[in-house]
Chains A and B, each alone.
Chain A
Amino acid sequence: EDQVTQSPEALRLQEGESSSLNCSYTVSGLRGLFWYRQDPGKGPEFLFTLYSAGEEKEKERLKATLTKKESFLHITAPKPEDSATYLCAVGRGSTLGRLYFGRGTQLTVWP
């Protein structure tokens, strides 16, 4: 039973073409929603943590938002170096430390 679903599985954007990645979750007692970036052959790199609905975090061209059932990662005017797999994970209050990962969105930005 998937508790975290990411869409789309893959996304191709032209440089400068803004878009959003979606992460929907069904866990109860959310204890943090985490976004990671993973480049081929490397470990996931931490981007953001969101804890409550309405919260937003920004870093360069990325902005993460959270509602009660989903999170969005907005990418504004992406560049080719933003190409990577973006992973979403959620933590539950009843099982601290155990993160449930989605299967990721593979983003390709072409010049």
Chain B
Amino acid sequence: DTAVSQTPKYLVTQMGNDKSIKCEQNLGHDTMYWYKQDSKKFLKIMFSYNNKELIINETVPNRFSPKSPDKAHLNLHINSLELGDSAVYFCASSPRTGYEQYFGPGTRLTVT
């Protein structure tokens, strides 16, 4: 009965590669988010979608592109990976925008 799930859990790749992280929620929520948690554990929002519509797009390199095929899924595609992209990426969802958010288990991305 997983609420917010992400795949993969770990991702190790080389600089310059393209990778994707997938997220799914079975809570029936309308809004989904992507966060980045750096090595100092600071959590910062990257994107947010409400019913497949992009509503938050923080200052993130164009190499990062979110896609929401339906309101239960939000994927993150990263092109031309750089060393600085190494972090833990969390997906989250909320019943409506502005309400409490529920987080997935995270994807630890390591770029070598």
Is the CB of A59 closer than 8 A to any CB of chain B? no
The number of chain A residues with a CB under 8 A from chain B is: 24
Question: Distance in Å from the Cβ of B105 to the closest Cβ of chain A?
Answer: 5
A87 to B103, CA, bound (A): 13
Residue of B nearest to A104 (CB): B41
* In contact, B102 and A46 (Cβ under 8 angstroms): yes
Main secondary structure of the interface of B (DSSP, over half): strand
A96 to B97, CA, bound (A): 6
Is the CB of B61 closer than 8 A to any CB of chain A? no
Q: A97-B55, A98-B48 are in contact. Are A46 and B101 (CB under 8 A)?
A: yes
* In contact, A101 and B103 (Cβ under 8 angstroms): no
Contact for A103 among B40, B50, B102, CB less than 8 A:
B40
0/1 string, B48-73, CB within 8 A of A gives 1: 10100001101000000000000000
Main secondary structure of the interface of A (DSSP, over half): strand
* In contact, B98 and A97 (Cβ under 8 angstroms): yes
Point out the residues of chain A lying under 8 angstroms from B98, CB to CB.
31-32, 91, 96-97
Q: Which residues of chain B from 26 to 63 have any CB-CB distance to chain A below 8 Å in the complex?
A: 31, 33, 40-45, 48, 50, 55-56, 58
Point out the residues of chain A lying under 8 angstroms from B55, CB to CB.
97
Nearest 4 A-B pairs (CB), nearest first? Answer: A43-B103, A96-B98, A97-B97, A101-B43
